[in-house]
Amino acid sequence: MTSQHPNSPAPSLTEVEPYGVERIPDAERTATPFDLFRVAFGGANTFSTCVLGAFPILFGLSFWQGLAATVLGVLAGALILCPMAMFGPANGTNNAVSSSAHLGVHGRVVGSFLSLLTAVAFFSISVWSSGDALVGGAHRLFGLPRGTLSYVVAYALFAGLVLAVCVYGFRFMLFVNKIAVTSATVLFLLGAVAFAGDFDPSYGGSFTASADAATQAMFWPSFIGAALIVLSNPVSFGAFLGDWSRYIPADAPRRRVVGAAFLSQLATLLPFVFGLATASIIATKAPKYVDPAAPDFVGGLLAISPSWFFLPVCLLALIGGMSTGTTALYGTGLDFSSVFPRLSRVRATMLVGVVSIAFIFVGRFALDLVQSISTFATMIITCTTPWMVVMILGFFTRRGWYDPDALQVFNRRQRGGRYWFTHGWNWRGMTAWWVSAALGILCTDIPGQFVGPLGDLAGGVDISLPLSLAVAAVLYLSLLWLFPEPRAAYGPEGARWVRTREVPVPPITEAPALAGV
């Protein structure tokens, strides 16, 4: 349970959260690692994760091949993600603000940009999948027409509910996730009972022994592509973990905080495997719904569901979608308020929410972006993962020491401090990020959707992620060694693994445009 500071009354769920990205006061940091587990798991224990879990089948893999790709993606993603949980307790702020220490006072906007893209993408997936399930379930239960108006109303109501929770803030979101973790888990287990009779683990997919040579040659590209789609889910939390872990006290054991983040992603094997298993049933009993040209997992799930499971599907869509939507949108509104300080957290959340809702309607009814989920997700992790590598390596070279006041220079529209570096930019971290991200995009190979200029470098296998990971790590550490950072950026114990140089720290002053205000 969440502990409460003895001198602080328990805040009401309906009390709007007053904090933006400034450091959370110690008396208010009453969350526990278990709370982090519930929020992170609740945000992924949803219907939209099931949709991502269906992609191995859409890529032509058998059930067992798809399971291997899913486990690989979840494990790799969890290992990459879990160190990102350490920044919140250390600094009492979100991860984009913490990145000032490694990318510079101005360079921290990279994290804000990546979190915005990630949030819009996964908020959209959440609203689309949950809205489709609600309309489809209502159609089967009550005969509700499946027309454009029904979808518009479902998307608008659902998005509005998510936005309301995000405006109230962290504690309301934590309350929603407490309910979502338990109820969604029960509904998934109920689904296992509903589909047990139809499930056949011997589903063979497209890459059988009788497949022609051209099809066989697509196995590894499809396997790696499916694993990357799965991996995108845990990696998508990288920019947001600090939003929730900042409420954990600074003296909380790091191993428990990191362990909570890791276990929260291992637990997502439940919705992933549910999506994988039901997709294999759909491919057998209603194959038109898994046509790669026009996949419709939600429609297929409803087509194969027993009638008594229609209502649980609707509940799963509502509860799980609320959880995913709130975890994505809350962090983006929070961070947007730091990029534009004139906007409070509430106003920034409202603005980003309205823009996201507009994007959802345009994407669903005009641009047909639903079919490009795999491309969007892969591009996001290709750009986000190198940023996470810079952050994690920076944490270890700094021995986990940060100057909380200097981290807030950008938010206060000031200049100077330990993390000013070169006119507010740390070109070492920035260079390692953009070079590795650009190289990853160039080497991306998603068959039939996006192939970069160097996509065929490994014979059709997508090597964008491992390549960008390796390049980011080697390049960042090399730049830190060849071009040492100021000694003042490191703590009392000094640097680990890298050299430093003695230079004076520029004083923190008001920016010229704001002087005298």
Residue owning tokens 């669903």: 364
Residue owning tokens 């206060």: 412
Distance (Å, whole) CA 202 – CA 252: 46
- Per-residue pLDDT band for 514 (boundaries 50, 70, 90) equals very low
pLDDT attached to residue 51: 84
Other beta carbons within 10 Å of 284: 16
Dump pLDDT digits (tens) for 346-371.
777 778 777 777 777 776 666 555 45
Average pLDDT for 453-476:
88
Dump pLDDT digits (tens) for 425-437.
999 999 999 999 9
Q: Is the pLDDT of residue 516 over 70?
A: no
Distance (Å, whole) CA 496 – CA 297: 49
The mean pLDDT of the chain is: 84
Which amino acid does the sequence have at 293?
A: A
Residues 6+ apart with CB under 8 A from 431: 475, 479
Q: Is the pLDDT of residue 330 over 80?
A: no
Instruction: Examine residue 7 and state whether it is found in any structural domain, yes or no.
Output: no
Instruction: Examine residue 8 and state whether it is found in any structural domain, yes or no.
Output: no
CATH of the domain at 108: 1.10.4160.10
Identify whether the C-beta of residue 334 lies closer than 8 Å to the C-beta of residue 119: no
Q: Which of 119-128, 131-140, 162-171, 462-471 has the lowest mean pLDDT?
A: 162-171
State how many domains the chain has.
1
Q: Which of 105-114, 163-172, 292-301 has the lowest mean pLDDT?
A: 163-172
pLDDT attached to residue 366: 65
Cα–Cα nearest to 132, from 109, 105, 152 = 152
pLDDT attached to residue 507: 93
Average pLDDT for 42-57:
86
Identify whether the C-beta of residue 287 lies closer than 8 Å to the C-beta of residue 203: no
Backbone angles phi, psi at 358, to 5 degrees: -60, -40
Q: Is the pLDDT of residue 473 over 80?
A: yes
Distance (Å, whole) CA 65 – CA 191: 22
Supply the range of the domain harboring residue 443. 26-204+214-507
pLDDT attached to residue 367: 59
Query: 372 vs 316, which has greater pLDDT?
Result: 316
Distance (Å, whole) CA 97 – CA 246: 11
Distance (Å, whole) CA 435 – CA 431: 6
Q: Are strands 500-501 and 485-486 parallel, antiparallel or unpaired?
A: parallel
Instruction: Examine residue 160 and state whether it is found in any structural domain, yes or no.
Output: yes
**Pure H helices in 240-369:** 241-245, 254-266, 269-285, 297-304, 310-339, 345-362
Distance (Å, whole) CA 460 – CA 123: 31
Average pLDDT for 282-299:
82
Identify whether the C-beta of residue 58 lies closer than 8 Å to the C-beta of residue 290: yes
Backbone angles phi, psi at 66, to 5 degrees: -65, -40
| CA 376 to mean position of chain CA atoms | 12
Which amino acid does the sequence have at 352?
A: V
Instruction: Examine residue 11 and state whether it is found in any structural domain, yes or no.
Output: no
Q: ∠ CA(14), CA(16), CA(22), 5° rounding?
A: 145
Instruction: Examine residue 327 and state whether it is found in any structural domain, yes or no.
Output: yes
Instruction: Examine residue 4 and state whether it is found in any structural domain, yes or no.
Output: no
Instruction: Examine residue 20 and state whether it is found in any structural domain, yes or no.
Output: no
